Amino acid sequence: MTTLAYFEGKIVPIDQAKLSIRAHVVNYGTGVFEGIRAYWNADHEQLYVFRLQEHYQRLVQGARVLRMQLSLDAAQMSDLTLELLRREGFRTDVYIRPLAYKANEIIGVRLHNLRDEFCVWCVPFGKYIEKQDGAKVCISSWRRNDDNAIPPRGKVAGAYVNSALIKTDAQLNGFDEAIVLNADGHVSEGSAENFFMVRGGKLITPPVTANILEGITRQTVMLLAREELGLETVEREIDRTELYMADEAFFCGTGVEITPIGSIDHLPLGGGGVGPITRRVRDLYFGVVCGDVEKYRHWCAPVYRQ
């Protein structure tokens, strides 16, 4: 249960962390947020936050696009997040939600000359997509928002209306998730996760110029695949019909972790179920995020003193 939040410069009881209906971010979506996970390792009696600094570096970069002037840097945000988690005393897996936002209580759409604030709260969290043995995925009838409209490179709050349209359309049609295409018809990503496929033993993922979020899990997967599995990832445009010919595919992201895709537009992939490369990537990923792999322990920030 959430009991605390960092809000307007201090840690307060969660009930006191409230924004006005007049706040700029509430009306115009002028905020950037993050989604970070912390994993409880029972053997180590430790809560590890995965790639904490990298998440805050991305938040700070997104805030720059929204012309924010934040009083905290990524290191300070990381420190106070660890402090918040310590005070919450969680001994379970946790999701961390920071938000940098335009706080003024005014009418007027713009980005400049506004007051920028930062807040963060945390909540115990399980799976984001329930179906872990092969999600049923469709191609969305919606298109991904373009970099020249609302940049997907930053986690801009208002841009997630696009993600919500994609996710709801998929679920109301009986699917677990959707893959969304760019306006030019090439694959971008999932509603709130990056996409990989396996063809001919190679990992393939859309490039950072495909209107994707530059995912931290995506980068983690590419590194682990290269270092630990000897698999290079090809970053290139992907056509829609290539998806139907993939041997395996999976989504990745902080929330979805590694979620295998079982079918796309009702066409089963490979042998159906979880493919062998996806399984190896997933096993490796879970070992690393839980702090069980010494070599990658530097990615796991311990919450409690050792």
Site residues for ligand PMP per CB under 6 A? 35, 163, 189, 192-194, 213, 215-218, 253-255
Nearer to ligand PMP, 80 or 222 (CB): 222
Cα–Cα dist 210/48, whole Å: 32
* CB of residue 251 to ligand PMP, shortest distance in Å: 9
Identity of the residue, 4 or 156, whose beta carbon is nearer to ligand PMP in the bound complex? 156
- In whole angstroms, the minimum distance from the beta carbon of 89 to ligand PMP comes to 25
Answer whether 69's CB lies under 8 Å from 112's CB: no
Residues 145-151: contacts with CB under 8 Å, at least 24 apart: 145/211, 146/182, 146/183, 146/211, 147/209, 147/211, 151/65
Task: Based on the residue annotation, tell me whether 155 is a catalytic residue of this protein.
Answer: yes
Residue linked to tokens 């992939």: 269
146/273 with CB nearer ligand PMP = 146
Residue 104 vs 145, nearer CB to ligand PMP: 145
201-233 b/e with 16+ CB inside 10 Å = b? eebbbbeeebbbbebbbbbbbbebbeebeebeb
Q: Give the integer Cα–Cα distance in Å for 50 and 190.
A: 21
To ligand PMP, the closest distance from the beta carbon of 224 in angstroms equals: 13
In sequence order, the 6+-apart residues with CB closer than 8 A to the CB of 20 are: 26, 105
Q: Residue 257: beta bridge partners? A: 253
- CA dist 133 and 18 (Å) reads 39
Judged by beta carbon, residue 206 or residue 270, the one nearer ligand PMP is: 206
We find the least distance from the C-beta atom of residue 255 to ligand PMP, in angstroms, to be 6
Q: Kindly give, in sequence order, each residue whose CB lies less than 8 Å from that of residue 204, ignoring residues fewer than 6 positions away.
A: 196, 197, 198, 233, 234, 235, 236, 238
Report the nearest approach of ligand PMP to the CB of residue 113 (Å): 29
Catalytic residue from among 10, 131, 136, 155: 155
Question: CA–CA separation, 274 vs 268, rounded Å?
Answer: 11
List active site positions.
155
